[in-house]
Structure 1
Amino acid sequence: MDWSSIEGNREKKGPVTDLELLHHFGAHPHLVLLQGVERGRRRCSSTVKVSGARRACLLGFGSCNSCQYGGLPPRTLPCSTERSLAVNSINNVVTEDNALGWTLPSPQRKLPRRVYRSNGYLLLYCNGGLNQMRAGISDMVTIARHLNMTLVVPELDKRSFWADKSNFEDIFDVDHFIDSLRDEVKIIKNLPKKLIRDIDNKIVKVHSMPPVSWSNMAYYLKQILPLARKHKVVRFLKTDTRLANNGLPVELQKLRCRVNYDALKFNQQIEALGERLISILKKKTENFVALHLRYEMDMLAFSGCSHGCSEEEAEELTRKRYLVEWWKEKEIDPDERRLEGRCPLTPEETALILKALEFGRDTTIYIAAGTIYGGEKRMAALRDAYPNTVDKEMLLSPSDLEPIRSHSNQMAALDYLVSLASDVFVPTHDGNMAKVVEGHRRYNGFRKSIILDRKTLVEHLDLYQDGEISWDQFSNLVQQAHKDHMGQPKERKVIQGQPKVEDYFYANPQECLNHGRYL
């Protein structure tokens, strides 16, 4: 991989300027850089050189002196001088403008609380893994806001495949979640005590239900709002994909983004570990790739994919699929599924694809995944092709990971942070993490994400491994297939009546992006 292509094609020689870095590595798309910033701007000692640390500082990943990442626009830069208060028209966050023209968040001021008559309380039981729950919570906040309901801090899934017992506050900063949305919706940690007593005494009956998948706001206004007013408390038993990708008012789409990219901030413990991981990686190398290698038991069992597995392993995966009752599809042809492009790439296939995309042997690759099925035996080909392949277990000490090791969602949160900070993000399957991280990287300035066309790749891989095409032909075919799959600005594909097939909102939240600046 030619890393200069990531930084942009520069005709000018000499040091890279802050403005060039912001353009090529992704200042926040909502950030407005006023005229005259380039002229006479001050520099902090931490931002004099063009370095990974400086770039991380400018982009809001990692930290350097007084620079820190604040989630939503605008970002904080050091050297602030004169200040004036303002309210951001996009997200209503109280902000400050400094003499350099950057808009700065004001940490001392809380947003004004939105006052409204509540139509009832909304309880949530979020289902799925970390990123499925993250998207679901973003949808549910938006629904609560539209229905003028009071939201109770969500309950996270503890019964799924991962059996993670984490509560909301074990992963996210619960106070930040509540305070950062107070101008939109009232969020409380628990139901009022009197209401709990009324529920216990059966004076009030909680109405529990799973909302209909991919519903628009008309459904929630016509079907859910009357239930909320009648029962006072509504509990949603599922939160995944319960809101349509398209057809919502722009202000609600922007609220989905605000929740996902600002309000759902990880707690201090996870943020600190994430910063440590990113710092270690940046000390090892100027650039690194985050590889979401989704070759894990749950994905293989769920998808029915067993390419490269032994007969015993294939049988184990089938048994696991039948044991999980809420996985509806049981009889699956693994070869047919692979040819359809619906299987995660194997580690061996991934090594060939990365090489075909011209990532050099010295590229540092961070494995953003859990336990790879088949262990180190299955990782051998990838590690042989890329010796600088690392993961969180290799970079952090056992004592660092001990508090969260048995909590898969907290471990996944570390991978999420590293994936956001990586120079390139490559998922080998289009699951929830792949989609949500892709969208977050778009939101952070269209940072490069290589979205692999697995159906096309499987065809090319088989031709190459069968000796029907040469390596040069294979490499050229792979590169041509992905020249427009790098996370560039594009319109979200809408297919009426087929929400599962059309582009996912959180993979390309175009209503929240400023395409023009990057086209």
Structure 2
Amino acid sequence: MYDRLLALAAHSLAEADSRSEPHDLWTEPASAWKPCANVRRENHTLPPAPENSTGYILINANGGLNQQRVAICNAVAISRLLNATLVLPSFMLSNVWQDESQFGDIYQEEYFVNYLREDVYIVKSLPIEMQSLDLQAIGSFLSELDVMKESKPGFYIQRVLPILLRNRVVYFSGFGNRLSFDPIPFEIQRLRCRCNFHALRFTREIQAAGDLLVQRIHQNFPGQVPSVTRYLALHLRFEIDMVAYSMCDFGGGEPEKLELQAYRDVHFPMMAKYHNETELASTLRELGQCPLSPEEGALILAALGFKRGTRVFLAGAQIYGGQSRLTPLSTLYPNLVTKEDLLSEKELSPFANHSSQLAALDFIACTAADVFAMTDSGSQLASLVSGYRMYFGGGRLPIIRPNKKRLVSLFAKNSSIQWEEFRERVRKTIRENRKVHTRPTARSVYRHPRCEDCMCQAKE
């Protein structure tokens, strides 16, 4: 789709070897915000013991690693809101990810329970006398259809608390993004941040493998002068499930359309049957709702000024289209690596066939990167990694977040626009997105932690 622009990018990168990179390429605007979600107020009250609480809350979180993480933090917040005891969250088996991992396979259970013991009482299972209850029969089973997305605290107090008081248990099935971000009591909001940024630690096995991965990304490639080299982590949200679900056109013609429709028929049977997919795809692209392709991601990096020798860690699962789709990116940036390139089969074997555990390795590599770039800001991984870098980065961990709607018009001119104009317009768009912003109202505290609920502004 972009042969001409890619050729211009390659020529520009060849010339750039003799020039220095833009001065702000590896830096982030200074920020006065500091982490403080771990600090509790002086008048903080302890949670009630199970026998004195309103009852037990169980959740079965759906989605992959990042959706599950949001669900866990929201469940902790709701348990505190209702003065309930939380049963250690369980994870739903997805027909897309096919991962049977449970909480203890990904996170340190004891650390999680102990860290939050002053906020929420957490137990590993229901009391024996309650384990045989038919939760659906007694009205304690709530599905995704029973709880609207981003429900306000009032919903849980008015609709869920009575069930909890009557039956001593409520079970949320398919629990995900089911708690609003505003208006929320300060302590509940801070608790969500405390859970996300402090209480959730990957298992020691995952953390050790992640640390080894980061160490090897920093190590030198064959033939290079020994040094500790910085790296850019790139999250390409271009797996087949995302590509199919987006309903966008990525230039693969009729074979691509048929393959993606077949995938939707199997994995997303509830999706509407659109009569004019071509018209829909065009509309979605104009609105900036289509994820950027690997080719578009490569062009953005080149336009920003990252040199050809830049070390690029590619995060994510199997890229739709395979190696041929990645060729433009790997041609412009030959020092492109994945976790599969850097960890041996033996080192990866404990996590094989467990997509959430493999995603945790990508999470670690992305949070530790000298620069993190994404192609789709709507991705949960990109959102959570960005928030993590804002929270712990101290203004030293740059994030590149493209404005897809503004970039659409640039890519549409790929057959005529000159490289200099393309480069300057890309840089202007990205530069505007890198300003230090506080959390907008109703936006996620996991993605935008710069707010008084999660962080504190350093005193001058």
Q: What TM-score, normalized to structure 1?
A: 0.76
2:415 to 466, 477, 491: 466
Displacement after TM superposition at 1:200 (Å): 6.5
Q: Any residues of structure 2 matched to 1:302-381 within 5 Å, and which?
A: 302-325=245-268, 328-331=271-274, 332=277, 333-381=280-328
Whole-angstrom distance in 2 between the partners of 1:308 and 1:92: 59
1:128 to 57, 63, 84: 63
Whole-angstrom distance in 2 between the partners of 1:471 and 1:203: 65
Displacement after TM superposition at 1:327 (Å): 5.1
From the superposition, tell whether residues 326 and 126 of structure 1 become closer, same or farther in structure 2 (CA, over 3 Å). Answer: farther
From the superposition, tell whether residues 296 and 417 of structure 1 become closer, same or farther in structure 2 (CA, over 3 Å). Answer: same
Maintained 8 Å contact 2:140/2:169: yes
- 3-state SS in 1 of match to 2:409: helix
Whole-angstrom distance in 1 between the partners of 2:140 and 2:400: 45
Whole-angstrom distance in 1 between the partners of 2:269 and 2:77: 27
- What is the match of residue 73 of structure 2? 138
Maintained 8 Å contact 2:27/2:398: no
Task: Kindly indicate whether residue 431 of structure 2 is the aligned counterpart of residue 492 of structure 1.
Answer: no
Whole-angstrom distance in 2 between the partners of 1:292 and 1:329: 29
Maintained 8 Å contact 2:57/2:79: yes
Whole-angstrom distance in 2 between the partners of 1:157 and 1:323: 18
Maintained 8 Å contact 2:112/2:201: yes
- What is the match of residue 173 of structure 1? 108
Q: Any residues of structure 2 matched to 1:341-490 within 5 Å, and which?
A: 341-429=288-376, 430-444=378-392, 445-446=394-395, 447-463=397-413, 465-467=414-416, 469-486=417-434, 488-490=435-437
- What is the match of residue 24 of structure 2? 5
Task: Kindly indicate whether residue 154 of structure 2 is the aligned counterpart of residue 218 of structure 1.
Answer: yes
Whole-angstrom distance in 1 between the partners of 2:80 and 2:436: 29
Gap runs ≥5 in structure 2? 1-19, 221-227
From the superposition, tell whether residues 5 and 309 of structure 1 become closer, same or farther in structure 2 (CA, over 3 Å). Answer: same
Gap runs ≥5 in structure 1? 10-22, 32-71, 74-87, 94-111, 495-501
Q: Any residues of structure 2 matched to 1:27-66 within 5 Å, and which?
A: 29-30=34-35
- What is the match of residue 208 of structure 1? 142
2:54 to 99, 112, 119: 119
Measured against aligned partners, the alpha-carbon deviations of 1:211-252 in whole angstroms (never above 9, x if no partner) come to: 221111111111111111112111101222111122112221
Whole-angstrom distance in 2 between the partners of 1:442 and 1:272: 23
Task: Kindly indicate whether residue 235 of structure 2 is the aligned counterpart of residue 292 of structure 1.
Answer: yes
Task: Kindly indicate whether residue 196 of structure 2 is the aligned counterpart of residue 253 of structure 1.
Answer: no
From the superposition, tell whether residues 220 and 407 of structure 1 become closer, same or farther in structure 2 (CA, over 3 Å). Answer: same
Task: Kindly indicate whether residue 187 of structure 2 is the aligned counterpart of residue 273 of structure 1.
Answer: no
Maintained 8 Å contact 1:290/1:419: yes
Whole-angstrom distance in 1 between the partners of 2:201 and 2:251: 38
Of structures 1 and 2, the one scoring higher in RCO (CA 8 A, sep 6+) is 2
From the superposition, tell whether residues 364 and 27 of structure 1 become closer, same or farther in structure 2 (CA, over 3 Å). Answer: farther
Q: Any residues of structure 2 matched to 1:178-197 within 5 Å, and which?
A: 178-197=113-132
Maintained 8 Å contact 1:321/1:330: no
Whole-angstrom distance in 2 between the partners of 1:423 and 1:470: 30
Displacement after TM superposition at 1:478 (Å): 0.6
- What is the match of residue 161 of structure 1? 96
1:511 to 429, 432, 452: 452
Task: Kindly indicate whether residue 92 of structure 2 is the aligned counterpart of residue 149 of structure 1.
Answer: no
Maintained 8 Å contact 1:91/1:258: no
Displacement after TM superposition at 1:402 (Å): 1.3
From the superposition, tell whether residues 432 and 324 of structure 1 become closer, same or farther in structure 2 (CA, over 3 Å). Answer: same
Whole-angstrom distance in 1 between the partners of 2:209 and 2:230: 19
Whole-angstrom distance in 1 between the partners of 2:137 and 2:171: 16
Identity %: 34
- 3-state SS in 1 of match to 2:288: coil
- 3-state SS in 1 of match to 2:367: helix
Displacement after TM superposition at 1:4 (Å): 5.3
Whole-angstrom distance in 2 between the partners of 1:191 and 1:432: 30
Whole-angstrom distance in 1 between the partners of 2:445 and 2:313: 26
- 3-state SS in 2 of match to 1:380: helix
The one-letter code of the counterpart of 2:190 is K
Displacement after TM superposition at 1:410 (Å): 0.7
- 3-state SS in 1 of match to 2:433: coil
Maintained 8 Å contact 2:32/2:458: no
Q: Any residues of structure 2 matched to 1:72-91 within 5 Å, and which?
A: 88-89=39-40
Whole-angstrom distance in 1 between the partners of 2:91 and 2:32: 32
Whole-angstrom distance in 1 between the partners of 2:428 and 2:363: 28
Maintained 8 Å contact 1:139/1:256: yes
From the superposition, tell whether residues 401 and 237 of structure 1 become closer, same or farther in structure 2 (CA, over 3 Å). Answer: same
Displacement after TM superposition at 1:493 (Å): 2.8
Whole-angstrom distance in 1 between the partners of 2:215 and 2:309: 19
- 3-state SS in 2 of match to 1:133: helix
The one-letter code of the counterpart of 1:251 is E
- 3-state SS in 2 of match to 1:214: coil
Task: Kindly indicate whether residue 169 of structure 2 is the aligned counterpart of residue 233 of structure 1.
Answer: yes
Maintained 8 Å contact 1:449/1:485: no
